[in-house]
Each structure stands twice: as C-alpha cells, then as structure tokens.
Amino acid sequence: MRTSCASRRSTAPRPPRFGPGGEPPIDRYCALKGVLDLAVLAVLDGEDGYGYDVLRRLRAAGLHDVGDASVYGTLRRLFHAGKLTSYVVPSEEGPNRKYYGLNDAGRDQLHASAQTWRSFATTLDDLLDAPRTRKAGA
C-alpha cells in the first residue's frame, strides 16, 4: 500500500543526510511521484526501450533513486492509457524483451506535460529568487 508523502516522511525514520550546503534531505520518492510519467515519456521520445533500459537511462540522467517497480508500473499504465506502443524482441541473454515506444497520443502528452512542467518550474524559480531580490532591493 502506498502512503502519502507526509505520512511517509513521518513514519520512515532515517538518519539525517544533509547536502553540501547543510540543507535537509529531499524525500525523493515524493519529488519523483508527480513527474515520473513525464520523465519516462521524455526518455522514450528519442528511442524505444524495454523496462530495464528505461530505468538505466533515467538513472544515468540523474534520477538515481527511481525504483524498478515504479518504472515498470509507469510503463504498463502509460501503455494501457494508450500513450505507448509495445512490441516484443527476442533476447540472446534470456527472456524476450518488451519494448515501448511513443505513439501520437504519447507525444501529445509529452509536449503538454513538458509545457506544464516548464511553467511550474519558472514560477517556482521566481518564488525562490523573490526573497533574495526583495532583500537586495531593501
């Protein structure tokens, strides 16, 4: 059963890990929860991929804490929502691999979600910079 970000933070005791600037840790589960669809669609925009390949590319891009099950679940959900195509390719190293690729609906969602993300990120950047701007002008 999945828990909310607030309950996850309060019930998951972990030793504090602080970043180089002394900032508190980010709950990466909560940070990734809302953007994993966008990240998966972005990874598949350039090249089709199978589950582990998508996971590897996400981690190589810097999303080190993304979980295997989260990626596989996201791929299945996006496929069932009609955003991805899939096909099976025989593998010489074990079982066949199910590849996923973007279709037109997936590209539409990628572009719409990317626009929403960029707008949100710009607004958040402005909010984060505002206190410094006010202090400098005061």
pLDDT, residue 21, reads 54
pLDDT, residue 93, reads 86
Q: Is the dihedral of CA 137, 23, 32, 11 positive or negative?
A: negative
pLDDT, residue 130, reads 82
What pLDDT band is residue 46 in, cutting at 50, 70 and 90?
confident
Q: What is the mean pLDDT of residues 88-114?
A: 95
What pLDDT band is residue 91 in, cutting at 50, 70 and 90?
confident
Establish how many alpha carbons lie within 13 A of residue 46's alpha carbon, considering only the half-sphere containing its beta carbon: 7
Fold annotation for 26-128: Arc Repressor Mutant, subunit A (1.10.10)
Domain boundaries, the chain: 26-128
CA distance 90 to 76: 19
What pLDDT band is residue 32 in, cutting at 50, 70 and 90?
low
